[in-house]
Structure 1
Amino acid sequence: MTRVLLIDDDTALSALLGEYLEQEGFAVAFAADGQGGAAAALSGAHDMVVLDVMLPGLNGVEVLRQIRQHSRIPVLMLTARGDDIDRILGLELGADDYVPKPCSPRELTARLRAILRRLQPDETSGAVAASKLIVAGLLSMNPGERTATWRGLPLELTSTEFSLLAELARNAGRVVGKQALSEQALGRPLTRFDRNIDVHISSIRQKLVHPNPAKTMILTVRGVGYQLLRED
């Protein structure tokens, strides 16, 4: 049973979301403030975190910052509808996805399950295929262990960043459309005005550093998608 920590000071909404998630087979725990939520998220007692941006005391962005200093636990942010600044900042700090508030329990559940699917090996290809290394030049990725190295050094990626980069690595040298990236890596269709992938790719670029600062390993093909270059 997947253990979800819901960090939100809106007790009525938390109760509604928690009840729905439990009916869908999740185990749910609650925290109503940022400091307590950060401590609970880092306790090792939970598998996923649902984190509201607007919290008393320590806000959700700062909570996420604390979590990412010590853990890669999947984090889904709850943001005010239309608040692009908090949304983009959360993704840049390592949030795996976001859902605008007010949100429906069904939408939240669907997003959580999409994150879970990204973390699990592909059962259709078997354990051997799931653990097979993806090698693109000096980039090496192990889907079974969800670890990666770049130029021989460990590459620290969030679960969403790993899924996106793995899809680009499988198609290294070819352009991958944003719709295909969203469906294959995020587990859901791309929605209109969705900048989720763009922000994650920007973060990956900063981690996939090329010795030549004038070069980037991931090209943007405007209006189409992204291409991972091979670097031998």
Structure 2
Amino acid sequence: MAYGVTVPEQARILIVEDDLDIASMLVDLVNNSGFLASSVANGTEMDRTLARSNFDLILLDAMLPGEDGFSICRRLRSSRKIPILMLTALRDDIDRILGLELGADDYVTKPFNSRELMARVKNILRRATDANEPAEEELGPMTFAGWRIDPRSRQLLDAEGAQVSMTTAEFDLLWAFCRNPNKVLTREQLLSMTHAGAAGPVERSIDAHISRVRQKIEPNLKDPTFIKTVRLGGYLFASKVERVP
């Protein structure tokens, strides 16, 4: 597979697209790339399909009739960890990153290049399957300010022990910060460590995912305690991090 990305050969991908021609093209593209594709035309059909079968990734069109893709993304993320790649014809940067802020792992703008789309799909699947495992000494859980993050179970627990739902990209970013506390990390370094927004616009993707992480761990979003923005530098995780014995 392209770009040296290791992903499961028979990963199942659900395409949510109301344009029959585009849906048919996507099914052929996904199947020809070695995966298993199914397609539905709207959120209602998607719900029925997800109730019957498990999927490894959802390709979700933003502009759907009835419930749009952004609403579906928000709803899915509130109850599922399945990776989401949004397809959008919207050209405005604010509109295009809205999906990321709602919990999508990445997005592609229509009309898209087929090779680029599949590169993004493979990178998301690689992250989700955790193919590139960290070094053995980095596998243990860590704590910071009462929070606990465990890379083995890929869980984040708050001070009361409640699990906090996170996307793959969000977890990878927080884990990268915990491994590098009190160090300034550039957006390019974070991209390299996590592949968040791989093959996409680095600054926009990283910033959107960090915004999501902040919403989940920061007590005051207007004055972040943990993830500090460093002007012209990147981000710094300002907390003492300890490994769990």
TM-score, normalisation: structure 1: 0.87
* Aligned residues of 2:169 and 2:194 also touching (Cα < 8 A): yes
Q: Secondary structure at the match of 2:39?
A: strand
- Determine helix, strand or coil for the equivalent of 1:216: coil
Aligned match of 1:86: 95
Q: Which of 52, 61, 77 in structure 2 is aligned with 1:52?
A: 61
C-alpha distance in structure 2 between counterparts of 1:77 and 1:199, whole Å? 14
| Correspondence 1:104 to 2:113 | yes
Q: For residues 34 and 44 of structure 1, what CA distance do their matches in structure 2 show?
A: 15
Per-residue deviation, residues 201-222 of structure 1 (Å, max 9, x unmatched) = 1111111033898542100112
Distance 1:219 1:42, change over 3 A: farther
Following superposition, the deviation at residue 70 of structure 1 comes to 1.6
Higher relative contact order (CA 8 A, sep 6+): 2
Verify: 1:65 aligned to 2:74, yes or no. yes
**Residue from 213, 219, 227 that aligns with 1:218:** 227
Moved more, 48-57 or 221-230: 221-230
Q: 1:73 to 1:211 in 2, by over 3 A?
A: same
One-letter code aligned to 1:66: R
**1:191 and 2:205 matched:** no
CA contact (8 A) 1:121 1:144 kept: no
Contact 2:120-2:199 within 8 A present in 1 as well: no
Match of 2:14 among 1, 5, 14: 5
Q: 1:45 to 1:10 in 2, by over 3 A?
A: same
Mapped contact 1:182–1:197 kept (Cα < 8 A)? yes
The separation in 2 between residues aligned to 1:189 and 1:196, in whole angstroms, is 10
Cross-structure match for 1:177: 186
Residues 179, 5 of structure 1: CA spacing in aligned structure 2 closer, same or farther, 3 A cutoff?
Answer: same
CA RMSD after TM alignment: 2.5
- Aligned 8 A contact 1:2 1:47 in 2: yes
Q: Counterpart of 1:20?
A: 29
| Alignment partners' CA distance in 1, 2:66 and 2:133 | 46
Partner of 2:4: none
**Partners of 1:105 and 1:148 in 2: how far apart?**
35
Q: Could you tell me whether the CA contact under 8 Å between 1:38 and 1:67 is conserved in 2?
A: no
Unpaired stretches in structure 1, ≥5 consecutive residues: none
State the Cα distance separating 1:46 from its structure 2 match: 1.1
Q: 1:156 to 1:197 in 2, by over 3 A?
A: same
In 2, Cα distance between equivalents of 1:118 and 1:212: 27
Distance of 1:93 and 1:125 partners within structure 2 = 28
Output the CA distance in 1 between the equivalents of 2:84 and 2:52. 14
Counterpart Cα distance in 2 of 1:144 and 1:195: 28
In the other structure, the counterpart of 2:7 is none
Aligned residues: 230
Distance in 1 (CA, whole Å) between partners of 2:64 and 2:115 is 23
User: What is the match of residue 139 of structure 1?
Assistant: 147
Following the alignment from structure 1 to structure 2, what is the Cα–Cα distance between the partners of residues 171 and 34?
40
**How far apart, CA to CA, are the structure 1 residues paired with 2:209 and 2:133?**
27
Report the 3-state secondary structure (helix = DSSP H, G, I; strand = E; otherwise coil) of the residue aligned with 2:13: strand
Q: State the TM-score, normalized to the length of structure 2.
A: 0.83
